[in-house]
A and B are shown apart, each in its own frame.
Chain A
């Protein structure tokens, strides 16, 4: 397969570290001010979302957030790109908002689909990929999925279709944080190695540290390969805030004032 991965640039690395820190703080503030939980899965996905949108995606590329509960991380990512305003972030989770707890239909141009029920995003991405192929249009479709949503049969249906049609333009990215709604993925429905499962369907799989922007960037540089690629990103639920890391309750809980202050201190240092 053909990939062109530009060499890493130390200045760029410092800049992206700065960016990630700034956006992580904005995410924490947004959730805190709105009294909203769901932080764990947002923090595990944030580095992936930022790297993808700032350093990987080009004008013909499309993005689908299959794990709709990471809407907050997507909103702050769009904010960091100047596509959502500060005023709009203040409306997160409030009445008469475009920024609901999960991405809504036709609310924001960059968000192609309302998601939130798991197991839809890969099929939608595959439809975009097939449509592009039939039209002869360039561009890739990046689909950010959770590990929990591989419990959904529809995810596997879509994987079968993607592999069979060799839709290499569709790149599933799995935020493998190991925790799902009410337990660890290994306790609820242990799939063993998801990467091996994906490989057995004929995909090429890149396993990376999902909090390393440089590794993310390299893994996502997929240029018209002949074989579909998936990226399995090992992440930490609640990444960057020690009392949230790998703790299931932060799938749900909002922050108290003290917790918020503590979280900000830690996130600043990251």
Chain B
């Protein structure tokens, strides 16, 4: 996804207010952007707190800086700078966290982002964008730039299944209709589950929705989704993020407010490192029951 983002930002870099700051990362991905943006591409070094403050200072003068790092180094390390310098002032600083969830795999826990949007969504004025597919990245990036407020863009790896025609990026999308439970997925995890669900008979496969923007606001839940939830009687929320502060909790709350609570509710989410061992992204997903087989086993449970 980051290569797609780099290409998208090359396009956006023609804007006089464009700037890009990286925390010394981007080898083999951001070179074309560095070329295109010239002096407005700034390697801020391994100093994320300063990088976010600098971006806020630039934004005060009318710049619209993108700030890039591996997700935890950005949202967790510079949390107070994000809160005080960016969010309090509603500044157009666009934080790009690469490697949402377990995406950095066997690089280990320090590189994983399992608490990122949960931690950030309590901040004022900030919006979170979680593209599920590489094709979402350009549209979402343009939306972020247009919205012009504090944003967190959580990137991962593309897992779009072959032979699937994706509907254009939107905060809510229904990708599959079936006779099973209603399944809401956040992030690239959707690709693998979608691929597996497509192979299942229509009457038992889930109705699959992808959620790409947070926070979840009760009023903005699509009527069609509420109907799906009511009809199926079972809502399953799946995300590569811990339960605390995650989309599952937010959806349950929003549906209660909406007066549309599901009869049955299941939540599959990151669990950290229950076995104490480390491995690839798929290893960790499997350990948390986030792999396609485990999800389908849950949605097809009689």
Contacts and interface: CB of A to CB of B under 8 A. Distances in A.
Interface of A: 105-106, 112-115, 117, 119-120, 122-132, 134-135, 137, 153-154, 157-158, 160-161, 164
Contact of B57 (A130, A154, A164): A130
Given A124-B85, A127-B55, A134-B19, A158 B60 contact: no
A154 B53 contact: yes
Contact of A127 (B45, B49, B53, B90): B53
16 contacts: A106-B90, A120-B53, A122-B53, A123-B49, A124-B56, A126-B50, A126-B53, A127-B59, A128-B57, A129-B57, A130-B42, A131-B63, A134-B39, A134-B58, A158-B54, A161-B44
B300 interface: no
B81 interface: yes
Given A130-B42, A154-B49, A158-B50, 8 more contacts: A114-B89, A123-B57, A127-B54, A127-B56, A131-B58, A131-B63, A160-B50, A161-B54
Contacts, number: 95
A67 to B, nearest CB: 14
> Which of A106, A157, A164 has the most CB atoms of chain B within a 10 A radius of its CB?
A157
B84 A117 contact: yes
B81 A123 contact: yes
B85 A120 contact: yes
In this complex, the interface size class of chain B, counting residues with CB under 8 Å from chain A, is 20 to 34
B85 A128 contact: no
A138 B227 CA distance: 59
A161 B45 contact: yes
> Which of A106, A113, A137 has the most CB atoms of chain B within a 10 A radius of its CB?
A113
Nearest to B47: A157
Contacts of A123: 49-50, 52-54, 56-57, 81, 85
Contacts of A106: 89-90
A187 B11 CA distance: 54
B60 A127 contact: yes
A154 to B, nearest CB: 4
B68 to A, nearest CB: 16
> Which of B55, B60, B61, B80 has the most CB atoms of chain A within a 10 A radius of its CB?
B61
B278 interface: no
B40 interface: yes
A94 to B, nearest CB: 21
A135 B61 contact: yes
Contact of A132 (B49, B50, B53, B61): B61
A114 B88 contact: yes
Contacts of A158: 50, 53-54
A105 B88 contact: yes
Contacts of A124: 53-54, 56-57, 60, 85
A106 B84 CA distance: 12
Contacts of A125: 57
B84 A120 contact: yes
Interface in B1-49: 19, 39-40, 42, 44-45, 47, 49
B45 to A, nearest CB: 7
Nearest to A164: B45
Contacts of B39: 134
B84 A127 contact: no
Interface in B58-106: 58-63, 80-81, 84-85, 88-90
A138 B84 CA distance: 27
Contacts of A129: 57
A132 B62 CA distance: 10
Contact of A112 (B19, B52, B60): B60
B61 A153 contact: no
A76 to B, nearest CB: 24
B61 A128 contact: yes
B47 A161 contact: yes
> Which of B50, B58, B60 has the most CB atoms of chain A within a 10 A radius of its CB?
B50
A124 B88 CA distance: 14
Nearest to A64: B57
A125 B60 CA distance: 10
